[in-house]
Amino acid sequence: MGLDNANNLSKKGPSEVISRYLEAIFYMEAEGESARSARLADWLGVSRPTVTVALRRMIRDGMVRIDPRKEIVLTAAGREAAESIVRRHRIMERWLTDALGLDWVQADEEAARLEHAVSELVEERVYESLGRPATCPHGNPIPGHAEAEAGERRLSGLEAGDAAAVTRISEVAEREAPKLLGYLLERGLVPGRRLQVAEVDGVGRTLRIALDGRELTLSHETAGKIWVLPS
């Protein structure tokens, strides 16, 4: 029954509500974070009972399963659906920034609306017109077209004296802290930018980095949302 439901769902696509859940779980997994009911409720801004109801539907339709540790895991069908949603979102972000000149925050907000309305045909045409980009504007790989850089680490895990290049900004920053996304863009912490860790303050939990001839102090929490490739 679950397989039949999943096959039917794959043909017509998940609802907009279920798409939001699939997308959130996908992002958590991409960040190495456990997906749990309470975390989903916080991420999506809904109550825990609401999450419980949605998860029952998703389990019934073969989109997710609950593992022995009570973590929510995407099934093959769920991952395929989630990747389709995320791919469309990131392609729309590229179009909104590269072609229309919107900033990161504006592009994310508009892409969240467009991802549910754009057809596969338009998605593919936009992708081709943009020159087949590999990532969204802040470096996250477009599913089906690219993967995360091998060997990348969170900036918060580097030591004083380490040099690195920014590869991407965490989806957590994009979805939970849009102001932080704007903050990082304004300060030039964008994919490809090189930096060096000048000091790590273990007590104050901050990092001081050298960037383009200037220094910038980041909290350990903020640095944890920036992925880099050490030199």
For the domain spanning 2-80, the CATH number is: 1.10.10.10
Handedness of CA 153, 158, 164, 165 (dihedral sign): positive
Structure tokens at 207: 């990092």
**Fold type of domain 153-230:** SH3 type barrels. (2.30.30)
What is the residue type of 109? E
Quick one: how far is CA 187 from the chain centroid? 20
Q: What is the pLDDT of residue 176?
A: 65
Q: What is the pLDDT of residue 2?
A: 45
pLDDT digits (tens, 9 = 90+) for 145-158: 998 888 999 999 99
pLDDT digits (tens, 9 = 90+) for 88-140: 999 999 999 999 999 988 998 899 889 888 999 999 999 999 999 999 999 99
Separation CA 12–CA 70 (nearest Å): 29
Q: What residues does each domain of the chain span?
A: 2-80, 153-230
pLDDT along the chain (231 residues), means of 10: 46 80 92 90 92 95 94 96 95 96 91 89 96 95 91 94 95 74 89 95 92 92 93 87
Tokens 């959130």 belong to residue: 24
- The DSSP 8-state label assigned to residue 16 in this structure reads H
Q: What is the pLDDT of residue 122?
A: 95
Contact status, residue 198 vs residue 210, Cβ threshold 8 Å: yes
